[in-house]
Structure 1
Amino acid sequence: MGESLEAAVRSALRAVRDPATGRDVVEAGMVEGLTAKAGMVQFAIQVPRERARDAEPLRSAAEKAAAAVPGVLSATVVLTAHRAEPPKPAASAPGPGGKATPGQGPMLLPDVGAIVAVASGKGGVGKSTTAVNLAVALASQGLKVGLLDADIYGPSLPQMLGTRERPRAEGQRIIPLQRWGLKAMSIGFLVDAETPMVWRGPMVMGALEQLMGQVDWGALDVMIVDMPPGTGDAQLTMSQRVPLAGAVIVSTPQDVALIDARRGVRMFEKVGVPVLGLIENMSFYCCPNCGHRADLFGHGGARQEAERLGVEFLGELPLKLAIRELADAGTPIVAARPETEEAQAYQRIAARLREKLKDRVGGGSRVNIVIE
């Protein structure tokens, strides 16, 4: 199915001609990185560097031709600069990967009151578990909540939400899945679990734009965005395509994690996104048999770092077996065992976030919170 759809898209693109040469974009070798997975089509149009600013009509025509192919739910096309041209001094900063930044268009997600980014700076600190449980906690407090998995290379929401269901389409719109009181979307719902996403930066940005702009999210109070670790293409796309109002940084207590958390804070500051606070995950370990507490990764490092950076410390979360087991089983602890102390810890942090956003959530103005 994927191969036949890809062939159909290539065939349709032969009708799109480059006005500069009169050749179709396929014959001219301008189509780069074409993929067609689960109805989602992505590719780049490669043009000489000096034409990058004027090639938007060609990009738009290629995108429309691909979108019109039967079986295509959505199509995203980006422009890339031809590397064969001699380098010239740039008049403005280049886009990710040194390539020309494509035209951004209007901001996405206009019907979402607050877009929250949860970030970590490095992997392995429990960011996704934190993002999912905070989203469920906000939903349990009466908000209409969306949960977007922005990690294209390593999506985790299908596992953590306990479903591999494929989203359905209505016309050219993809309907998000509903689970635990949330509307959720991840690239993991659209591809096989073991399919590697071997995509370059522009394709990652295109996929993110599809997950935001071509999914029928509807009106939401809050959207939690589970960001990939680091400070790369996904973070740049989010800062460019949605007006982020804040970020929450998740870290473990030890110094090696705090160094990367610090980089995350500085990255958001650099793109003009205030940091709403830090969360210390795996703050301490409790033995499930005897209840003994041990500070396996140290304790209090994130609180001290928050004080040093001048941002709020939002709270600490324990390293407990039940949190991991329930996350792996697709049942977030906030939903499965709401009476537990660890579930209440997530609820307290969610309530504090809601308090920080009270003038914006449901009030008609936009707020964005990103959790990586």
Structure 2
Amino acid sequence: MNIQINRETLLKPLTSVTSIVEKRHTLPILSNLLLEAKQNKIHLTATDLEMQISLSVDSATSNDFSTTISAKKLLDICRSLPDNSDINMATNDSRITVKAGKSRFNLQTLPAADYPVMTKTQSQGTVITIPQRQLKELLKQVEFAMAQQDIRYYLNGLLVEVVANRLNIVGTDGHRLSFTSTELKENYEKQDVILPRKTVIELIKLLDDSEEDVNVEIANNQVNFSFGNIRLISKVIDGKFPDYNRVIPTGHQNTFTTERLGVLLAMQRASILSNEKYRGIRMVLSNNNLKLISTNSDQEEAEEELEIAYGSDALDIGFNVTYLIDVLNNTNSEQVTFSFADANSSCLITLPNNPDYKYVVMPMRI
């Protein structure tokens, strides 16, 4: 049983599927990927039992077969071969031989029948279509606000919600919340799921900056993504996501709009002397003036001053500067608007050129 394939044809899809393979797993076969040859195509599948990525590439094959092979070893072999090498793979009992030029590798395999393939749910879910570039941008606008290994497991992912003709995506870690939305081509019944953190990160890697469509099928316990030659199946987090509408404030009267890059650089400089653990920064607002002040346990202090168009109440309010830098780094708008109610209320950050984006940060005592 033979496969002939060019190194470049195999390397990119192999890199894509291998990224979800766990390095240490109780099931040895999960360190492998499923390699199937069918009708002059190679199908590569990897899973960690929570998510599965499948890809297909064209290749000359002698006949149909399937096996599983160490994902990391095959990827390392491909990477180490010279550019444009022609790779030949031949199976023999429980081994596979990989040849390229004068290089030869003999690898152990495990039976394909033992591979735990995730199957697509039979229940018909909501299917939406959205350009790849657009979905990638939406995910990048909110993914940084997801929690990491929080005991409130439902925060370790993104809320994906379809309501009528809107797709809403929300991430929060309990201290800040990022919300983005876009209009869909059709109306749908309300449906929402929580996508796990790992799925979100892999999706951002896999999606292209192209106008080609992604089909997203949302079911109760699973979400399926189909785009190009990629199929991604993901389980969802079972839990109740917080009501984000109660968190997003309305009617904050004290607002100013400023250049995103200017305030980002000022915050990065001020953060150098902030407390390493709490990362606190004070925003002191007065007439047409913003001061950013940070101090640390060594009694060191940094102060940045910016001229802004502001004529509302004087305010002195503290925030975790990392949460502010995150949002300024992950938006590409030239200007940002900050809105406040008082020194004890959250800050709302919006973009003048994108009414569908909102970012909320809770204040902290400094």
Does the alignment reach a TM-score above 0.5?
no
TM-score range, shorter chain: under 0.3
Q: Return the structure number with greater helix share.
A: 1
With structure 2 as the length reference, what TM-score do the two structures score? 0.26
Kindly indicate whether structure 1 or structure 2 has the higher relative contact order, using CA contacts under 8 Å at least 6 residues apart.
Answer: 1
Q: Return the structure number with greater strand share.
A: 2
